[in-house]
Amino acid sequence: MEVKQVKLISFSPTGTTQKILESIAEGIAVDDVAPINLTLPEGAQQSIPSLSDELVIIGAPVYGGRLPVDAVKRFKRLQASNTLAILVVVYGNREFEDALLELKNLAIALGFNPVAGGAFIGEHSFATADVPIANGRPDSRDVQKARDFGAKIKEKVAVLPSPEAPIDLKIPGGFPYEAEGARTMTVSPVTTEDTCTVCGTCASVCPTAAISINGSVATDIALCIRCCACVKNCPTGARVWEDGMMKKIASWLNENCRTRKEPQIFGIAL
Ligand SMILES: Cc1cc2nc3c(=O)[nH]c(=O)nc-3n(C[C@H](O)[C@H](O)[C@H](O)COP(=O)(O)O)c2cc1C
Ligand code: SF4
Ligand code: SF4
């Protein structure tokens, strides 16, 4: 089968997953690449045409060894019919545990036919310049690996007789899932009034509409999923974590996840 169109379906609050999906698409090298980014609150409502006759790359970050609950909610709106799918998770150099297996099981339940999977590394959402955790990733080596993966995907799809060809894709992880997902913590970043220019960027990137701007920045803590999109996108550095537990978690990750992990690919030999 020839790949004529690629759809990139993502949930990616801080953009690392999106970057990996785009790099894989570069490796597949087709002109018709259509992004369906489901990160923002509109993504929860957006009507998505039924997917058929194309190759779909679905990507999400790892939260607590699982998929983010909001990614699952949005992906459940997809309808496929033996649509070939590449599954991608991006994690912050700790572990991806059951997340890729969860994405495979979800994809099959939605009607996709998973061809291959990849677990890539991205700068940890909780990382800062002072407390780095995989800062700057995906870097040029990760991007090259993603492009190589894309080129091999094209070769694998080329020899498939039809989209419904049986593919036995083995993905690590256990079912029932052992990883519990993101911990429930009713906390959110706070705004430093002195440096906040009330530009509204934080509200515009928040996936759960937890932030509202009305002369100043207000956050509905109950809606915050700790994705850190507001922190990483604030142009003045006014959006920060003050919560002691979040600072402890970031320090633990900084100390214990220093050894560089490399992307892992399943269903294709690179
Ligand atoms: C709530 C939360 C939980 C996370 N849990 C994990 C984890 O279990 N393992 C890991 O290595 N990274 C973890 N991360 C880091 C993200 O997976 C990583 O930074 C990823 O690159 C973010 O993707 P994005 O840029 O597409 O948002 C977590 C991040 C958040 C916000
Ligand atoms: S992005 Fe930063 S400067 Fe802009 S409104 Fe939000 S906290 Fe203030
Ligand atoms: S308020 Fe919470 S959910 Fe919204 S962008 Fe910031 S960290 Fe993410």
Beta bridge partners of 37: 10
| pLDDT per position as a tens digit, 15-57 | 999 999 999 999 999 999 999 999 999 987 877 877 777 899 9
**pLDDT at position 51, please?**
78
Indicate if ligand 3 lies below 6 Å from the C-beta of 10.
Answer: no
Taking the centre of ligand 2 as the mean of its atom positions, its distance from the CA of residue 217, in whole angstroms, is 7
List the residue whose alpha carbon is closest to atom 12 of ligand 1.
92
Question: From the alpha carbon of 65, which atom of ligand 1 is closest?
Answer: 8
CA atoms within 13 A on the CB side of 76: 9
Domain boundaries, the chain: 5-177+259-266, 190-242
**pLDDT at position 127, please?**
98
Distance CA 41, CA 205 (A): 9
CA atoms within 13 A on the CB side of 13: 29
| pLDDT per position as a tens digit, 162-204 | 999 999 999 999 999 999 999 999 999 999 999 999 999 999 9
Distance CA 150, CA 212 (A): 39
Label residue 117 by pLDDT band (50, 70, 90): very high
Mean predicted lDDT score pLDDT of the chain? 96
Please, what's the b/e burial string for 64-95 (b: 16 or more CB within 10 A of its CB; e: otherwise)? bbbbbebbbebbeebebeebbbbbbbbbbbbe
The domain over range 190-242 is classified in CATH as 3.90.960.10? no
**pLDDT at position 2, please?**
87
**pLDDT at position 113, please?**
96
Residue 7 has pLDDT above 90, yes or no: yes
Cβ–Cβ < 8 Å for 59, 17: yes
Taking the centre of ligand 3 as the mean of its atom positions, its distance from the CA of residue 208, in whole angstroms, is 7
* For the CA of 209, the nearest ligand: 3
| pLDDT per position as a tens digit, 125-165 | 999 999 999 999 999 999 999 999 999 999 999 999 999 99
Residue 270 has pLDDT above 90, yes or no: no
Q: Which of 219, 232, 236 to mutate to test the pocket of ligand 2 (most atoms within 8 A of CB)?
A: 236
Please tell me the class of the 5-177+259-266 domain: alpha beta
Q: What is the DSSP secondary-structure string of 98-141?
A: THHHHHHHHHHHTTEEEEEEEEEE---TT--SSS-SSTT-S-HH
**pLDDT at position 56, please?**
97
| pLDDT per position as a tens digit, 214-254 | 999 999 999 999 999 999 999 999 999 999 999 999 999 99
Task: Name, in order, each residue with C-beta under 8 angstroms of 227's C-beta and a sequence gap of 6 or more.
Answer: 13, 14, 68, 125, 206, 207
**pLDDT at position 1, please?**
87
